[in-house]
Each structure stands twice: as C-alpha cells, then as structure tokens.
Structure 1
Amino acid sequence: MGVICWKFYFRDKFMRERDLKGLDLKTGSFTLRQLRAATNNFDSAGKIGEGGFGSVYKGKLSDGTFIAVKQLSPKSRQGNREFVNEIGMISGLQHPNLVKLYGCCIEGDQLLLVYEYMENNSLAKALFATGSETSFLMLDWPTRYKICVGIARALAFLHEESAIRIVHRDIKGTNVLLDKDLSAKISDFGLAKLNEEENTHMSTRVAGTIGYMAPEYALWGYLTDKADVYSFGVVALEIVSGRSNSSYRTTNEFVCLLDWAHVLQKKGNLMEIVDPKLQSEFNKEEAERMIKLALLCTNASPSLRPAMSEVVSMLEGQTSIQEMISDPSIYGDDLHSKLLKGHYQQVIDQSLNSTQDLFPPSDKSWIGNSSASAHDLYPINPESINLNISETSTLIE
C-alpha cells in the first residue's frame, strides 16, 4: 500500500511538472517562504475566500504590495488541472478588466497562485449582501453601468482581441471582482477553454454554474463563445435588478430572475425589474438599454446572440439594440430540459453547503463528479452550485 501511494503521489507531481514545463509562462515566481511571510503563515484571520479546491488569503509583500494568495489543495487532481489551466490561460494576458496574475509558487505539494488584491471583493457580494452585513456596499447607477461595460470589454478582449481566443465558461457575479475604484475585473480562469477555431464549437464536459450556463451547453455540451454571451446577459440583468438569477422567486410562477424578465418583456413592463434600492436615481435610457441587451444575450438560440464586441457597441449607445422576443421554452419539450428545470428548483430550495445531486438516483449514470469544479477568488455563500457532468455523449444518451 505504501509503494502504491508513493507511486500515485510522484505520478501526479510528475504530470503537473510536465504540464507546467509545456507552458510559456509569463508570470513571476514566488517562494513558499515569501508567501508564508506575506500571509502570516496563512493565518485564518486573513482568509478572504474559500472554495472547492482551496482557500484564498490576503497578503502583503515586503515592498508593501497587497496580494491575494489562492492555495489549492494538493490532494485534488481537479485542483491540479485548474492550477495549470489558469496559469496557462492568463499568464500572458493584460487587460484593465482582467485580474492580474502576479505569479505562482510550486514547492513540494504546495500549489499557490498570486493575484492582485481587489479591495471591494466581488460583484455578487456588492449586489446581494444585506444592509446588516459589515461589507455592505451600495452601488449607484453610474457605477453599475461602468461595471457592466467593463465586463463586456473584458469578454470582447478574450473572444476577439487577445492573442489566444478564450471562452471563460464561468462568468457570474462571484467571478467579477471590484478594485478600489469599483472597476470590474474578471477572475478565475480554472474552467476556461481555448477557442482555437473560429465559427466552430467544442464538444466538451459540461462544467459551470447552474443559472448562468447557456442551454445548448448545459444540455448538449455545445460550447462556443456565445455561452459566455449568455452568462454575461444573466449578470447584466442581476446588475440592473440587484437580484440573483438563481435565488429570486416572488411566487411559484417564476423559476428565476430571467424567467420573470421574459414575462415583464411580454407585458411591456421591463422597468419594473430595476433595483428598488436605486429608487428614481438612475438613467432610464441606460437601464432600458441594459435590460433589452441582457434579454438579447440570453436568447435561447446562440446564433441570435450578438458577439461581445457588438455588445460593447450597444451598451455605449453606438448601435441600436435589435428588438427580439426570446422564447425561453424553445427547449421546453426536451426530456433533459424538463429534468433540469425540476431539479433546478430543488437546488434552490436546499442548502448548498454540501454537494448535491441534480438528478434522481435512476439517472446517476448521467453524472460524473458532482462536486464543484471551480471556486471563487472571493466567494460568498453560494446561491448556485457548480455542475460538472460527465462526457457529452453520456449526457445525450
């Protein structure tokens, strides 16, 4: 048994080192001693987040620079893959709306990623925290609008402008961080995929967060950059409304925030969705533009969603937004859609502190590892869970 355990340990270590050697890393290198000193030996008092594969600590380097240190669990193979994936994806990317990766540390069984520290935590924290919480942050309308534009610009860069084209796969409020000026920066590229061929799709394992995944990706593993466009639309709707897509329910009539938005669109009462905390202190024209754009981005058909460069142009008022009534029931007759919808409701109703199954026991063959496949740099109490379904062919069967 000891020999077998020894072989497994060194095999994982060898594979990780092999993967890292294959990357053209453009990040710095930190020693474990440096990071222990910066985080006061990873003191729990400095912990600012915790996810499925490790914890995040606030630290301060000897030159006075504040950092966020993500410590991935050495026991998790998924954590190893996420570690290599994240470094490979963003080590060479520079954009004002992407969180900077300063470097990494690999010593013994320690896997650590070092990021710039974001003073105002996550967008989800700012939008959904209650007034009783010490970290409560009230976002006025100009700030919300700026955040939405920042997210759109970052995605346009990833999809169309960067040297390597990337599909993030997990755009949500907890993966959008806010700096001291409340500018938005996208983080957590552990699930990101390279989009090497334009106008083609990737059939892949489904991994992301329920409530933010595009239907064609969640049901059939059909992945293009339009999956990020859909997720952006959901986040834009959350920014305008101040409500979480996965936890908002006024009555049993509505499954989620997006469902309610479709109903309001058909009734011609779109402005009813605007966050009541804003009262009347918001730009009605900009708010209406954001809501209509959010609904366009979340169209059930990926071919009818705009590219992110077009989204930026529409947000800034340079081009008009196409009026379109999206039919959210386009997948309604599909068996898997019905199962997802029924169990989506169960996910909302149950506590999400532990791993949960999304399908009944008879359907367990559909699911691979049901544990979270990504974690947040600055997570809040989750209102949705990550879905990691096994191979697409199994899902379709």
Structure 2
Amino acid sequence: MAAFSIFVFLSGLFVTSSGDLYSHSIRPNFTASFINLVDNSGAFLLSPNATFRAAISNYPDQQLPQFYFSIIHSSTNTIIWTANRGRPISDSSKVSLTPNGLIITNNFDQIVWSTPSLDSPVAFLQLDDSGNLILLDQQNISLWESFNYPTDTLVRGQRLPVGIDFFAGEYQLLLTSSDAFLQWNGMTYWQLSMDNQALKESNVLVSFMAVNGSGLYWVGDDGSTIVFKVPLAPIDAAGLEFIYAKLGSNGKFTISSFDENNLVPNFQIPVENCRIPSICEKIGFCNSDKRPETCLCPSAFHNGIDGCVPINPLLTLPKACNTSNSYGNETNDQVSYMKIGDAIDYFSTNFMEPLSRRISLLNCQLLCSRNCSCLGILYGNSSGSCYPIWNNVGSIFSSTFGLGQEDFSGYVKAMTLSSNINLSSKTDADHKFSVLGSVLLSSLGAFVLVVIVIGFSWWKRRKGHSRAAVVRLGSKASFSVEIDLLSIAGLPVKFKYEELATATDNFTTQIGSGGFGTVYKGVLPDESVVAVKRITNLGVEGKKDFCTEIEIIGNIHHINLVKLKGFCLQGTQRFLVLEYMNKGSLDHVIFNNESVLEWKERFEIAVGTARGLAYLHSGCQHKIIHCDVKPENILLHEENLHQNLQVKISDFGISKLLTPEQSNLLTTLRGTRGYLAPEWLTSSGISEKSDVFSYGMVLLEIVRGRRNFSIQTCAPLSGTELKRLYFPLLALEMHEQKRYMELVDPRLNGRAEGEEVERLVQVALCCVQMEPWQRPTMSNVVGMLEGSLPVEQPRIESLNFLRIYGGRYASVLTTSTNGCNEQ
C-alpha cells in the first residue's frame, strides 16, 4: 500500500498540462477541454493497461459538435459511463478536478455537472482497468466511484442496485425487489419473470443486478444468493477482455463480450425486433416476414415527421392530456376512430390487463373516449377484450408471430381540424368556380348532416335522462349495470356490505377520517387485520367509472404505497378495503409530546415517502397526482422491534374517484392548508409538481418535529407572551447562513447526522420553489436523498415568497424574541 501511495503521489507531481495523456491517476487542480485534447481524440487519462480511457468526446455517429465526459473501452470504443448525459458541452467547455471533486462547466462558467459533496478533500482521480473512475483522499479511501452511478451500461464487477435509474432515451430498465422490466415511456414491453430464458432460483428479495462471463444475475441482500439468472452460452474465460450489458437508445437490452479480436453479442431482448415499441415509430407496421424488418404505414396513413399520420389533412392524432400541447378538452363529437389494421398486436398487451372483457367494439371506444390519456385501442374480436393504448402510440405488428393468439383489430383516436384551408391556388376562373361550388355543396351537405346528428344526439340524451330518472336498485336496468361491471377485468376482491359490517363490528372502531370518508379497523374471516374506508360524497351515477378506477388503483403495487385489498359497491355504499398500518399516521408519531421519533427513522420516512410519490408520478402505467400529500396520509407499520419501519402513502387513488365538479373543489375539500402549492390558489394547472411542493413542506416538518405553522410560548422578563413561527421561512434563513443543525427537532438533543440534515433541508427548499418547473421531479428527489444524484441548490429568488408568507403569519401577538418554546 505504501509503494502504491508513493506511485500515485509521484504521478501527480508531473501533471503540468491538460493536453497530456496520463496513466492511472491525476492530482487536483487539473483542467481539460476538448480543444486542448484534440491530438488525443479528447482522452486525458488511461487505466494502467490502457483498457479504458477517460475522455471528452462526441457520441459515436453524432454529427453535431456536442461533447460529453465519458469512460470508454479503448478496443471497442464502447462508452460505459457518461457524466453529463443529456447536457452536452462545447469543445471549449472545461472538465476540472479540484479538491472538492469533479466539475464540468460551460463557456459561461456555469456548472453543468459535478460530483456530490464529499467527506474529505480529493487527493487523486484514478481510472482502474475495470472501468471504474474513483476519487480518493490522501489515505487512499474512496470518496466517490462512477460504478455507483450507472447510466445505461453495466460492466463486470459493477452492481445495479434496486431503485437506481438505468435508462437510454425513452427506454428504461426498471429493477425492483421482485422482478425486472423494460419500459418505454413507462409502459412495459419485457418482464423478467415472463421470459423463457430467465431461471428463478430463490424467493428472497432482489438487491442488485450484475453481469459476468457466465450470465446475468439478480442477487439477494447477502450478496451471494441468486434470485434470477439468465445464463449465457459458454465463453472462453481466458480470452475474455471485456463483457458488458447495455440498454440501447433503440430499446434493445444486450450483453456483449470482447475477446481481443471480436465484439460478440451474447444475448439480447426482445428477441423479435418488432416487439420494440418504437421500431417503426408512431403507428408504423413492423413486417417481420422480411430480414431486416421493414416498416409500412397502414392504409389511410402516410409517413410524417415522427411516424405515420392521417392522409386526410382535416384529421390529426391528439396527444395525451398529461403532455404539453394536448387536446385535453375535446368532446366526443370531435373524436373519431381510425382503423390501423386487423390481425395485429401491440407490445403492451402481454403485460397488462384489458380495460374490460366481453364488451362491444363501440363500448370499448367509449371507454377510451372518456379518458384523454387513452390514444387508441386494440379490440379482441373473439373475446371482446378492450386493451387501451396509453399516453404514447408505438408501432404495431402482425399477431401471427406474437405470443398471444388473440385476433386484435386496432384503432387510434383522431380529431377533426378546421376546414378553413386553401384548396387551390390556380388562376383559371372556371376551375375556381368549380372548386368553390364543390366546397359550398360539400359544406352544405356537411351542415345538414351535422344538424341531423345533433338533433338525434339531443333526442337520445333526453331519452336517456328520462330513463335514468326511474332506474332503481333491483330493476332490470340496474341488474344490467351489475352484469356490465363483471366485464371489468382486474378488479380486486369485491366484498358484500354485510361482510364489512361484520369485520368492523358494525363500524365501531374508527381509526381515521378525512374529507371523503371515515376509516374503521376490521378483521376478516382469515384473521387478517384491515382498514375499511367508507367513501362519501362521490354520487351514485358513476358505478362503472368507480369500478374502472378501482381496477387501476388495485393494480398499483409498490412497497411504499398502501395496498388496496378489496372494495364494496352496494347500492349507494362504497368502501375501500386497505392493508392495516399498526403505527398509524406520521402526524400522530412526529407531533406528539409523549415520544420522540429518532433521526434514523425520520430519514427512512423521508426516503420512503419520496419513493412512493416517484412511483405514482412515473413508475406506474397511469400517472397519479396525489393532490393531498401531508403527514396524515403517510402511514407507518412495524412488525417487531427488529424490523425497519415500513412507510406507505395512503389516499393516493381518491383523486381518481372524483367527478369533474368535485375535482374543482379540491382546494377546499381535499388540499390541506400549509401543504398547498401556490398554483392551487392561482387557478393554474395542477401537476405532479404540486405534489412535490407538498412533499417539501412535509420534509421540513419531519426535520423540525412540529407543524410548519406553530406558536411559540415566550418567557420575557415579565409575564408570558406568544409568537407565531413560520418554519419554512426559518429554514430559508438558516440555509442562507449554513446553520442547518439549528433546524433539527430540539427533542433529539443533537442526535442527528449533520450531512443528512443539510441534504433534507436543501432538498425541501428545492421542492417548495415558487414555480413548478423549478422544482425537481420526485425521481430526482429520491436520487438526491439516496446520494445517487448531487443535491441541487435552491434558487433564493424562487423562495422569496416565503418571506411574504412568513411576514403575514409570524406577526408577534405580544412582542418578544427571547426564551421561546414551540407548542
């Protein structure tokens, strides 16, 4: 070790110019740019055997002058790690090694990327022959490693832990504790447990994924128990120089090996290229009968900028309502359906349940029309199954080679544009008259047709309303509705009202309440304890809508979300049956004066809540905005003293059960004072960033152990006085002075990790910034809390509104500033 230290020290002494090419290590105060490294093709550091190089370079086949700081396998030019992914720099931008870490700055000296805060000053930057880039201190202790921050490539000796982002463009490999998925824009197109090549060897929870010369492995917490494995064909270990697993921007996940002469693909998924969601872009038909596969547009479509578009210029394909420039307010009269083919299939049908089964094509289209996130359907002609196309439209392919045997017909939503277009620019008067006459006649015919359709629709609506007025439970119409509900697949267990009344001892043990219902403790016949929530104020007309949403909520499974175990729908009664959390809600635990929640548990609650919200926003198939993130909706459970506290978010599906009228009342009925984002009060659009704001407010309360709005009891020289305290303003002021430990709950008596306190406060302030676009996503919040992403610095100018809020609230009831205790 001493000899190694001397070598590293001496190698650093000779660093004099950023244009040189160094081996193994570099000392701080080193700066490089591509311009200075042109002769080395951007490289400035080699591993000991020159197997890998650190370089500032273009991506392969990239024409634009955009550069990235990357680690590259020398023999194959394979990029295994990139620092500034998605944030390219110019050829004169700088990569600097300082005692504080690595920093990339642009031409305006703005930080593009940097390593997170480190425990001690950097002494060396080292590149190993494994491809791992490491920052070391003076004692050769690792401060930071690129292997801990994988991007889209995994090499031998590296681990991909559960929960770490692994993505390439629109594609992501999602690793969970029980399975692994390939996803395109959040929709699954490959699942490990359903793949014939995957072998399951244990039932323990997955901790990480790794690759070596014999296969791809999913490994348990002990670091040795194999849960799943995908074995590879035998590889000559003696000649194996390099093996890696990579998720490509084309959607393929591949394992390749290099044996000194050849780069060989050993494994790839999906096996069939036509199962890659965007292989032929939007609505493109992938023909697998030819090699390589060919792409065609269906009839009535032709090639457009990003795929196939309608030939008819008066028709356009809408975007989903959760994307920008969406058609969120379209009416059913504007929506039509264009057929994209028979005997076709779609990548997601094998990995999702249908919206409904045994329904007609018309009803399937109606289900899609009622949800602006649905952009099309696949209808099973033999089974009556209705599969939606959510949020983004991918490619289609022939069902003859697919895994399923269903005979699908495909349809996509189309919307009618204004017909005010210039049909001709010819100058011939007769031709002008002919065209004008045709247009007028067509317009007149269309007008008459519209009048007929509107009149018929009005008559049908009036007739439907008159029928609805006389429908009663037990009638034939009601019975048909109940039968229709049976066609909704994927519903959780349906309980009878009498069963829930018995389980809850006739609803006597109340354990919670909220704006839309009361919660009771119950015991089912199998002796499992549940929480039964009676849902109120939802009306009686949306029975099938209620069940459709229950199916969506019931299919959401995450370790940090309360599980929906069943429901009851009987007459006007609606109940949700949820898993029981024995420690109750966070507010009862953290705001009481009887016991003190330790810092370790507080940090676990912060991370667990962030993971749950991140999954709701970007991990599940249907994005869900919670709309009421607060301590009362964060539940805790503890099996015994030897297990970690379980953290789960509740009430995340209530917003999906509201009518449009009730959604407009969320600010008074659902949102809670103290946690509402500013956009709630300004009638701006509500998005997942509104949840981020609420989470930031909760994070501050976790740190302090008190409500953000509190009253201090003060003891001046005479008498007792009261002072209002707005804690977010205090947090901002202490952040500006770097006095983070003064914000911690005083009942902990200093039992808190200073670095974690600083991290939580900074993340919280980032979350509560005024403008939604300035707030991080919940996925990035998870990364910052867990240390996989550097903590963003909140913008002070975006937090000045806290001074206004605080000034209004923190007015002194009786003047005093000393000797105050919070209540």
TM-score, scaled relative to structure 1: 0.70
Map Cα deviations across residues 73-131 of structure 1 (whole Å, 9 max, x no partner).
Answer: 4x663998996696255211000000001111122332211000000000111111221
- SS of 2:558's equivalent in the other structure is coil
Give distance in 1, aligned partners of 2:598 and 2:583.
15
Give distance in 2, aligned partners of 1:300 and 1:78.
39
Residues 86, 146 of structure 1: alpha-carbon distance in 2 compared, 3 angstrom cutoff: farther
Residues 165, 263 of structure 1: alpha-carbon distance in 2 compared, 3 angstrom cutoff: same
Give 1:362's aligned residue: none
- SS of 1:104's equivalent in the other structure is strand
Residue 496 (structure 2) pairs with residue 38 (structure 1): no
Residue 606 (structure 2) pairs with residue 148 (structure 1): yes
- Find the partner of 1:65 among 522, 528, 534: 528
**5 Å matches for 1:218-297?**
218-247=681-710, 256-297=726-767
Give 1:107's aligned residue: 570
**5 Å matches for 1:262-341?**
262-327=732-797
**5 Å matches for 1:9-20?**
10=472
Report the count of equivalent residues: 321
Give distance in 2, aligned partners of 1:250 and 1:78.
49
Rg larger for:
2
Aligned partners of 1:83 and 1:111 also within 8 Å: no
Deviation at 1:31, TM superposition (A): 1.4
Give distance in 2, aligned partners of 1:89 and 1:209.
25
- SS of 1:220's equivalent in the other structure is coil
- SS of 2:796's equivalent in the other structure is coil
Give distance in 2, aligned partners of 1:293 and 1:225.
16
Percent of paired sites with the same residue: 38
Residue 637 (structure 2) pairs with residue 172 (structure 1): no
- SS of 1:166's equivalent in the other structure is coil
- Find the partner of 1:50 among 513, 530, 533: 513
Residues 192, 50 of structure 1: alpha-carbon distance in 2 compared, 3 angstrom cutoff: closer
Give distance in 2, aligned partners of 1:19 and 1:193.
21
Aligned partners of 2:674 and 2:709 also within 8 Å: yes
Structure 1 stretches lacking a partner, 5+ long: 132-136, 195-202, 350-382, 384-397
Deviation at 1:52, TM superposition (A): 3.4
Deviation at 1:148, TM superposition (A): 0.7
- Find the partner of 1:183 among 646, 653, 659: 646
Aligned partners of 1:53 and 1:79 also within 8 Å: no
Residues 248, 232 of structure 1: alpha-carbon distance in 2 compared, 3 angstrom cutoff: farther
Deviation at 1:225, TM superposition (A): 1.2
Aligned partners of 1:85 and 1:190 also within 8 Å: no
Give 1:159's aligned residue: 617
Give distance in 2, aligned partners of 1:47 and 1:330.
42
Map Cα deviations across residues 265-312 of structure 1 (whole Å, 9 max, x no partner).
Answer: 233323211011111212111111111111111111222211111111
Aligned partners of 1:105 and 1:112 also within 8 Å: yes
Deviation at 1:182, TM superposition (A): 2.4
Give 1:77's aligned residue: 539
Residues 162, 301 of structure 1: alpha-carbon distance in 2 compared, 3 angstrom cutoff: same
Deviation at 1:33, TM superposition (A): 2.0
Residues 325, 268 of structure 1: alpha-carbon distance in 2 compared, 3 angstrom cutoff: farther
AA at the equivalent of 2:602: R
**5 Å matches for 1:384-395?**
none
Asked which structure has the greater RCO (Cα within 8 Å, sep 6+), the reply is 1
Give distance in 2, aligned partners of 1:146 and 1:50.
26
Give distance in 2, aligned partners of 1:259 and 1:29.
48
Aligned partners of 1:204 and 1:221 also within 8 Å: no
AA at the equivalent of 1:90: I
Deviation at 1:19, TM superposition (A): 11
Deviation at 1:219, TM superposition (A): 1.7
Deviation at 1:191, TM superposition (A): 4.6
TM-score, scaled relative to structure 2: 0.35
Deviation at 1:329, TM superposition (A): 6.3
Residues 157, 250 of structure 1: alpha-carbon distance in 2 compared, 3 angstrom cutoff: farther
Residues 257, 63 of structure 1: alpha-carbon distance in 2 compared, 3 angstrom cutoff: same
Residues 206, 139 of structure 1: alpha-carbon distance in 2 compared, 3 angstrom cutoff: same
Give distance in 1, aligned partners of 2:540 and 2:682.
22
Give distance in 2, aligned partners of 1:55 and 1:88.
21
- SS of 2:676's equivalent in the other structure is coil
Give distance in 1, aligned partners of 2:769 and 2:484.
38
Aligned partners of 2:522 and 2:530 also within 8 Å: yes
Map Cα deviations across residues 53-78 of structure 1 (whole Å, 9 max, x no partner).
Answer: 432111111111000011234x6639
Structure number with higher strand proportion: 2
AA at the equivalent of 1:139: L
Give distance in 1, aligned partners of 2:564 and 2:598.
29
Residue 674 (structure 2) pairs with residue 215 (structure 1): no
Aligned partners of 2:488 and 2:548 also within 8 Å: no
Give distance in 2, aligned partners of 1:167 and 1:315.
21
Deviation at 1:37, TM superposition (A): 1.6
